[in-house]
Structure 1
């Protein structure tokens, strides 16, 4: 058994350095020999020095340092540094799309990319917030199926669901979706959306991936190639508030100067900002005019004003009137 394990010595050495060393922590030669022995491998110092040299030739660099009159060894070869791993952990934890159980499993895997000492720092990141999380792993498989369909240039069929008042997912009135051609996946407001071409309605539409079930790849080539040749998914996402669709209009709006950051975050750095007097500025942007767009504007109270076109101004007035009537006694 020891002889067969002897062949795995280099792999065990990498495992030891990955788990027990980092920039702040090293391991002595005696500790290395002991850990190898615990795994059924007898090794002498000279052979380990040779192994460390061999690992360096393939890009796995190990450095030596003097610490309290002892020489310690540590790896400086990592696929990710700790700051990158912290960022990935935060993304996993913050995502509503990934269930709590799957978040914990993913974070555990990310911990494997650093030492046991740094892994503790990552684990503390898990408890940054009590977020609403997905309840199943189906989203993983949905994304995989959609990517396969896009790669294979095929249409898909699926059932589309919605929540009812009993907090149950029930199939929507229009039920089974067929002849849908997936073209892209988009992330917006912490949710995944599939952007696709609906052959029946001859239009570009989007669907929440976590509300799709029983996805089947059809033996039909995708439609909508012409519509998607110049389609900009990022622009589509910026135009569509809360992924609520509506008619695309070029809208002129006036903002208080304090909201420049909000405008850049929403519409990007390419938006043209036209300064005005009284600490105001205006912009002209294409937006998908929907109730969510009006709600977004209303959220800034008197710091934002729609200037045109008139039909969009009227739409804002109508929404305000409806809300006002709802609260009349």
Structure 2
């Protein structure tokens, strides 16, 4: 190999070695670097390696020379600090819509952003969490296609499946394709949802991205622009419980004071809490009335009571009676 090519390779090897193996607790001495280069067939003097390190510093790599033991050169700062990488690993692990295989691939890539010793700490975290993951390997590509459709103002078409009692995937609507105008992507209850406009029923609908198959971007323009011009995604997410739809209604609840935090966490700090006694307050909310909403209320027990409208109270009573019947 020509001398100039050897020199170019030398500085790249020094950079790679420092990035991959060093941190403040694991520096490399000049002897270590000379030995590494020798193993790669390159003979180098200390002076030339000093020069390489200066070039790398000018390039923007933060290389420090630690004098106390363990002494040597190390990369002092990186694009991501170790606590930040741990946070990202936790996020990948906790996210159900990312498959186990994709989670492992992502974490491997995150490990490359740290030194080998720090990467070992990230790898140990992988085995801490054992959460249920989606089986749909196309999730990554679905999300990317939906983003593409939104940016290109295009509709999408896809098949949508559900699980059977036999734990088998069954396509809804006998495999007929859905054609939807996508306007937003959102997370809810550890799942990814596409929110879009269904021209056939002329309503806003949401679909779990991991349950979509054969998703493709269409050459037809999106519909529902006027509706989504005034669409509030945060408000929509507050009204939908567990991403199950239902008739939207304004509901008045009377709650024990201890539920103030529950209401604020669910509906935001802007929600109005009106004291009705020393021990309770009233709150008026807009929600989509569904079985999931009733389940949320039921979990709060006798600390909350529906004040109106009457038809919602009646439905809640009927739901409770139906549950009681199951235990007779």
TM class, shorter-length = over 0.9
Aligned to 1:157: 157
Structure 1 residue 12 displacement after superposition: 2.1
Tell me the distance in 2 between the aligned counterparts of 1:132 and 1:254: 37
Per-residue Cα deviation, 1:12-60 (whole angstroms, up to 9, x for no partner): 2222112221233222111122223223333221122222222222321
Between stretches 214-223 and 252-261, larger displacement belongs to 252-261
Tell me the distance in 1 between the aligned counterparts of 2:59 and 2:314: 68
On the 8 A contact 2:187/2:193 being kept in 1, the answer is: yes
Aligned to 1:27: 28
On the 8 A contact 1:5/1:40 being kept in 2, the answer is: no
**What SS does the corresponding residue of 1:76 show, helix, strand or coil?**
strand
On the 8 A contact 1:160/1:175 being kept in 2, the answer is: yes
Between stretches 7-16 and 290-299, larger displacement belongs to 7-16
Aligned to 1:14: 15
**Unaligned stretches of 5+ residues in structure 1:** none
Structure 1 residue 161 displacement after superposition: 0.8
Describe the shift of the 1:41–1:261 C-alpha distance in structure 2 as closer, same or farther (beyond 3 A). Answer: farther
Matched, 1:107 2:129: no
Describe the shift of the 1:53–1:276 C-alpha distance in structure 2 as closer, same or farther (beyond 3 A). Answer: farther
Aligned to 1:269: 269
On the 8 A contact 2:180/2:197 being kept in 1, the answer is: yes
Structure 1 residue 309 displacement after superposition: 2.0
Describe the shift of the 1:257–1:128 C-alpha distance in structure 2 as closer, same or farther (beyond 3 A). Answer: farther
On the 8 A contact 1:6/1:42 being kept in 2, the answer is: no
**TM-score, normalised relative to structure 1:** 0.93
Between stretches 272-281 and 296-305, larger displacement belongs to 272-281
Stretches of 4+ aligned residues off by more than 4 angstroms:
none
Tell me the distance in 1 between the aligned counterparts of 2:260 and 2:318: 27
Aligned to 1:37: 38
Tell me the distance in 2 between the aligned counterparts of 1:211 and 1:130: 21
- Mapping 1:13-162, distance limit 5 Å: 13-68=14-69, 71-162=71-162
Describe the shift of the 1:228–1:52 C-alpha distance in structure 2 as closer, same or farther (beyond 3 A). Answer: same
On the 8 A contact 1:99/1:133 being kept in 2, the answer is: yes
Aligned to 1:218: 218
On the 8 A contact 1:157/1:176 being kept in 2, the answer is: no
Structure 1 residue 222 displacement after superposition: 0.5
Between stretches 149-158 and 53-62, larger displacement belongs to 53-62
Tell me the distance in 2 between the aligned counterparts of 1:11 and 1:139: 36
On the 8 A contact 2:158/2:179 being kept in 1, the answer is: no
Describe the shift of the 1:281–1:13 C-alpha distance in structure 2 as closer, same or farther (beyond 3 A). Answer: farther
**TM-score, normalised relative to structure 2:** 0.93
Tell me the distance in 2 between the aligned counterparts of 1:264 and 1:8: 59
On the 8 A contact 2:197/2:203 being kept in 1, the answer is: yes
Structure 1 residue 129 displacement after superposition: 2.5
Aligned residues: 327
**What SS does the corresponding residue of 1:185 show, helix, strand or coil?**
strand
Tell me the distance in 2 between the aligned counterparts of 1:109 and 1:311: 54
**Unaligned stretches of 5+ residues in structure 2:** none
On the 8 A contact 2:160/2:212 being kept in 1, the answer is: yes
Per-residue Cα deviation, 1:100-155 (whole angstroms, up to 9, x for no partner): 12211111111111111111111111122221111231111111111111111111
Structure 1 residue 180 displacement after superposition: 1.1
